[in-house]
Amino acid sequence: MFHVKHLFAKDGRANIMTKKLLMGNEAFAHAALEAGVRVVAGYPGTPSSELIETVAKLHAAGAARGVHVEWSTNEKAALELLAGASYTGARCLFTCKQVGLNVASDALMSLNYVGVKGGMVLFVADDPGPISSQTEQDTRRFASFAKLPVFDPSTPDEGFAMMQAAFDLSERYHTPVIVRPTTRINHASTFFDIADTTDARPVPEEGFERDPKWVIFPRRAYQAHGEINERLRDIACDFAHEPALAAFNPMIEGGEGLAPQANVSRETGAVHGGASDRHPNVSRETFDDEKNQQISELQDVSGATAVARSPRLGIVAGGVSAAYVREALRMVEAHAAEEDLVVPAYRFWRVGTPYPFPEETAAQFAEGLEQILVLEELDHVLEDELLAFAGRTHATFDVRGKLTGDARDRGENDVDDIASRIALFFGFNSQTDVSRETSAFAPVENLPVRPPVLCAGCPHRGSFYAVKCALGKTPAVLCGDIGCYTLGNAMPLDAVDTCLCMGAGITMAQGFAVAESHKKALAFVGDSTFFASGLTGIVNAVYNGHDITVCVLDNATTAMTGSQPHPGTGVTLMGPRRTPVSIERVLEAVGFECIVHANPLDLEASTSAAREAIEFAGPSAILFESPCIQLVKPGAPATVNADTCTGCKKCITEIGCPAIGFDADARGPKSKERGQAYVDSSLCNGCGLCTQVCPFDALGVPSEGGSHA
Ligand code: SF4
Ligand code: SF4
């Protein structure tokens, strides 16, 4: 906390504003609360999850008054709940990661046709890389597919402003609006002035008003489609002209054309005179004082061009790539100054509202340009828009980007790569090295590779191992799902043959059972995923009589995304604990006739339970029940008895626990020259699984202390 100031709301109440260092997702939460959001719902998914957690924390602390916040069963449930709330006039916020929007899409496509009343913002976090996702899908594409406006922030603080603008836009046009940050925006931190307390905007007095428009019918859908098309044209116009929205699509000019007499305003960044005057929205903006210094140097080295030249080169960027471009331009210009190179005049357009594409701003940007370089992550969305624009207007500029091999066609961008591409675009030698040279940015060589792995003590390890022991040599297909347990595919467990999407394992196993009936078909599903997307699959298994075994890995949390609660825990974000929804009772009610329980840390009992379920003809289930280690106090670590360890390595080659290593130099009466296993006590949580795997009783855990002892 750095300083406190008081602002006064319209009702005269003082809002205390505090400057705080916030992660992007925390800031988005504050932005929505300050915009008066009343209902917040979503499903956890990296990199989006912290937004709802922040709202829940503020609500629990009494700082977010009047808000309802929840983790819904899945994204579709969340969006449908919010649709109802929005029809009353409440401001609503939906959150998910990019693939979560697929789950909600059935509701979303219709919702855009029906329309909303209270502002409806969809916070959908994209994951270039992907770092923690199964696809690199681009929500900007989804926005154009669904015909929804989308904001694409380049920094967390721009995202803060966009969140508030999105609520206003949603209400003005009665359309859901997407705010689409990417991982680096979600997880970057910066300082914000935020209100210490917020009040949800009240639902209007009239509330929900019955109207035929709330009921979607084909005839109404036809009319609504026309209305959508019309409002998209209007919104594109707003994105180009309405100051508060056009501010998200700024342009700057730089490079050779800087006139020495230009009047550079360091406060506003605007430069008056020269080519900029032809374009009221184009400013010869300076980045900061450092940039001004660089400009002076450039003017010196370029011979202080007397008349500003109109740019022939343009750069377009969106999202975090736009922030990278700004930094890369500094690097390129600094490098040019050092090397006596002349930076050609250029125009840079940052596109914060990619859909509907603000064509009038594009026309202004493209005036006089011959080459345009497009830098964006994930899909070539802006590149396509510019190509379409060029086609429609018979423009002659070339568009370069992902489609031409001038930009990365997948994964994340970074400043060094963008700087190199801009240097090439400016005509500098392809050998020009403009990468950051300071040690703070220098890549560290020879870092050890750390593949993702189940935690030491993770109960899923025991579940997978028990199933493999029960199967023995029986041919089987093991269908995995989305969660920590996808890591069961790693060696030596090697227990996940497929992974498609949330809940798919249960239904895919049924496909294998039909097509390869000589094999056993098993599905692994986590407790949260079971509720999110597994229910339709288990009903299908009973309805169509598929011979599958569903292994529910119930660790009492949504572990992979940060230990969020789910219906099986009974914990809600609003405080009161509900009766947990029982997976066993759901399975019974649906018609599963073989349901067995197992503690995955008891190898013999779980293997026997797995055998019983696998041998059952028809849908069966094993409920592996043991909490995620993030929820329990660790027990005393296991130890290796040097007198009995033979160095056989079975504890390593069978279960692959990261807490067990092998010391080739260790010697003992049984291991002789082979070396011996050792336990890293800083990682081991004393789960005891390894002690049941060792055939020589050389591993043990103290019987006292710790929850697993
Ligand atoms: S976080 Fe929990 S569920 Fe995930 S790997 Fe670690 S112990 Fe297992
Ligand atoms: S601890 Fe047991 S399983 Fe591991 S190497 Fe020693 S004898 Fe083999």
The CATH number of the domain holding residue 359 is 3.40.50.920
Q: Which two tokens stand for residue 304?
A: 């202080």
Ligand 2 centroid from CA 627, angstroms:
26
Buried b (16+ CB within 10 A) or exposed e, 139-165: bbbbbbebbbbbbbbbbbbbbbbbbbb
Q: Is 40 helix (H, G, I), strand (E, B) or coil?
A: strand
The average pLDDT across 314-322 equals 98
Q: Which two tokens mark 675? A: 């070396």
* 661/624 same-domain check: no
Which atom belonging to ligand 1 lies closest to the Cα atom of 553?
3
Angle between helix axes 98-114 and 139-146 (nearest 10 degrees) is 20
Total domains, the chain: 4
Axis crossing angle, helix 535-543 with helix 504-515, rounded to the nearest 10 = 30
- What is the CA angle 396-144-210, rounded to 5? 145
Q: From the CB of 649, is ligand 2 less than 6 Å away?
A: yes
Cα separations in angstroms, 539 against 194, 503, 536, 596? 47, 12, 5, 18
Q: How do 92-97 and 263-264 pair as beta strands?
A: unpaired
Residue 451 lies in a domain: no
Percentage of the chain surpassing pLDDT 70?
88
Asked whether residue 501 falls in the same domain as residue 478, the answer is yes
- 652 within 8 A of 625, measured Cβ to Cβ: no
Q: Please determine, for residue 2, whether its predicted confidence score (pLDDT) is greater than 80.
A: no
Q: Does the C-beta of 645 come closer than 6 Å to ligand 2?
A: yes
* 552 pLDDT tier (thresholds 50, 70, 90): very high
- Give me the pLDDT at residue 443, please: 65
The answer on 73 and 127 residing in a single domain is yes
- Distance (Å) of CA 257 to CA 86, 293, 339: 51, 16, 18
User: Residue 421 burial by CB count (10 A; 0-12/13-18/19+): exposed, middle or buried?
Assistant: buried
Residue 641 CA to ligand 2 center (angstroms) comes to: 9
Is 296 domain-assigned? yes
Measured CA to CA, the distance from residue 313 to residue 643 in angstroms comes to 74
CB neighbour list of residue 671: distance below 8 Å, 6 or more residues apart: 642, 645, 646, 647
Q: Are 181 and 261 part of one and the same domain?
A: no
Instruction: Give the CATH number, domain containing residue 201.
Output: 3.40.50.970
| Mean pLDDT computed over 12-40 | 91
In 3D space, the residue among 299, 306, 372 whose CA is nearest the CA of residue 337 turns out to be 299
Grade residue 597 by pLDDT with cuts at 50, 70 and 90: very high
Q: Is the link from the previous residue into 212 a cis peptide, with omega within 30 of 0?
A: no
Averaged pLDDT, 97-104: 95
Nearest ligand atom owner, CA of 676: 2
Task: Starting from the CA of residue 639, give the closest ligand.
Answer: 2
| Rounded average pLDDT over 23-27 | 97
Residue 433 inside a domain? The answer is: no
**Cis, bond preceding 356 (omega within 30 deg of 0):** yes
Q: Are 180 and 149 in contact (CB under 8 A)?
A: no
Q: How far apart (Å, rounded) are the C-alpha atoms in residues 140 and 357?
A: 11
Backbone dihedral angles phi then psi of residue 553, each to the nearest 5 degrees: -95, 90
What's the CA-to-centroid distance between 47 and ligand 1, angstroms? Answer: 18
Measured from the Cα of 647, ligand 2's closest atom is: 5
Say what the alpha-carbon torsion angle 529, 531, 537, 541 is, to the nearest 10 degrees: 120
Answer yes or no: are the C-beta atoms of 120 and 176 closer than 8 Å: yes
Looking at 216, 244, 272, which one is the last position of a domain?
244
Q: Which of 289-293, 458-462, 565-569 has the highest mean pLDDT?
A: 458-462
Instruction: Using DSSP bridges, classify how beta strands 313-318 and 282-283 pair: parallel, antiparallel or unpaired.
Output: unpaired
Asked whether residue 277 carries a pLDDT value surpassing 90, the answer given is no
Residue 459 Cα to ligand 1 midpoint, Å, equals 8
Mean pLDDT score across all residues of the chain: 89
- Asked, for residue 430, whether it belongs to a domain, the answer is no
Q: Prior bond to 47 cis, omega within 30? A: yes
From ligand 2's centre to the CA of 553, what distance in Å?
Answer: 27
- Give the position, in ligand 1's atom list, of the atom nearest the Cα of 560: 4
- pLDDT score for 259: 36
Strands 68-71 and 198-199: unpaired
Question: Which residue type sits at 649?
Answer: K
Indicate if the pLDDT at residue 430 is higher than 90: no
Output the DSSP codes for 531-545: IIIIHHHHHHHHHTT
Predicted pLDDT at 451 = 82
Position 196 in a domain: yes
Query: Beta-carbon neighbour count of residue 114 at 10 Å?
Result: 19
Contacts of 457 (CB under 8 A, 6+ apart): 629, 634, 657, 659, 684, 685, 686, 687, 689, 708
pLDDT at 98 over 90: yes
> Ligand 2 centroid to 461 CA: how many Å?
18
Same domain, 510 and 605: yes
CATH of the domain at 680: 3.30.70.20
Which phi and psi (to 5°) does residue 639 adopt? -130, 155
Which range marks the domain in which residue 72 is found?
Answer: 22-244
Pick from 375, 407, 425: which residue ends a domain?
425
Quick: pLDDT tens for 359-416: 999 999 999 999 999 999 999 999 999 999 999 999 999 999 999 999 999 999 999 9
Instruction: Name the residue of 49, 453, 458 whose CB sits within 8 Å of the most ligand 1 atoms, as the mutation to test its pocket.
Output: 458
For ligand 2, say whether the CB of 502 is within 6 Å of any of its atoms. no
Name the domain boundary from 214, 244, 274: 244
Q: What is the pLDDT of residues 508-537, one digit of tens each?
A: 999 999 999 999 999 999 999 999 999 999
Domain shared by 393 and 310, yes or no: yes
Sign, Cα dihedral of 402, 407, 409, 411: negative
Has residue 155 got a pLDDT over 50? yes
Can you tell me the distance from the alpha carbon of 514 to that of 541, in angstroms, rounded to the nearest whole number?
11
d(CA 419, CA 333): 10
Least distant ligand from the CA of 647: 2
Distance in Å, CA 634 to ligand 1 centroid: 13
Q: How far is the CA of 563 from the centre of ligand 1 (A)?
A: 9
Atom 2 (ligand 1) nearest CA: 628
- Tell me: pLDDT of 439 over 90: no
- The gap between the terminal CA atoms of the chain, to the nearest Å, is 43
CA nearest ligand 2 atom 2, residue: 694
Burial (0-12, 13-18, 19+ Cβ within 10 Å), 189: middle
Judge if 325 and 210 occupy the same domain: no
Q: Of all protein residues, whose CA lies closest to atom 6 belonging to ligand 1?
A: 455
Q: What is the CA radius of gyration of the chain?
A: 29
Query: Confidence band (pLDDT; 50, 70, 90) for 476?
Result: very high
Q: Kindly state whether residue 107 falls inside one of the protein's structural domains.
A: yes
Helix 289-301 with 320-338: angle, nearest 10 deg:
40
pLDDT digits (tens, 9 = 90+) for 249-271: 999 999 984 433 333 332 233 33
Distance, CA 582 to ligand 1 centroid (Å)? 21
Specify whether 530 is located in the same domain as 594: yes
Please give the pLDDT value at position 431: 63
Looking at the structure, tell me whether residues 420 and 536 fall in a common domain: no
CA-CA distance, 77 to 79, in Å (whole number)? Answer: 6
In this structure, the answer to whether residues 27 and 138 fall within a common structural domain is yes
Q: At what angle do helices 381-393 and 359-366 cross, to 10 degrees?
A: 80
Predicted pLDDT of residue 308: 54
Ligand nearest the Cα of residue 655 is 2
Say if residues 321 and 349 touch (Cβ distance below 8 Å).
Answer: no
Q: Do 579 and 690 share a structural domain?
A: no
Any domain includes 437: no
Residue nearest to atom 1 of ligand 1 (CA): 559
Three-state DSSP class for residue 81: helix
Could you give the angle at the alpha carbon of 149 between the alpha carbons of 41 and 114, nearest 5°?
65
State the DSSP string of 321-346.
Answer: HHHHHHHHHHHHHHHHHHTTPPPPPE
Query: Which ligand is nearest to the Cα of residue 626, counting in written order?
Result: 1
286, part of any domain: yes
Pocket test for ligand 1, best of 485, 560, 628 (most atoms within 8 A of CB): 628
Answer yes or no: do 174 and 206 share one domain: yes
Ligand 1 atom with the smallest distance to the CA of 460 is 8
Mean pLDDT, rounded, for 18-32: 96
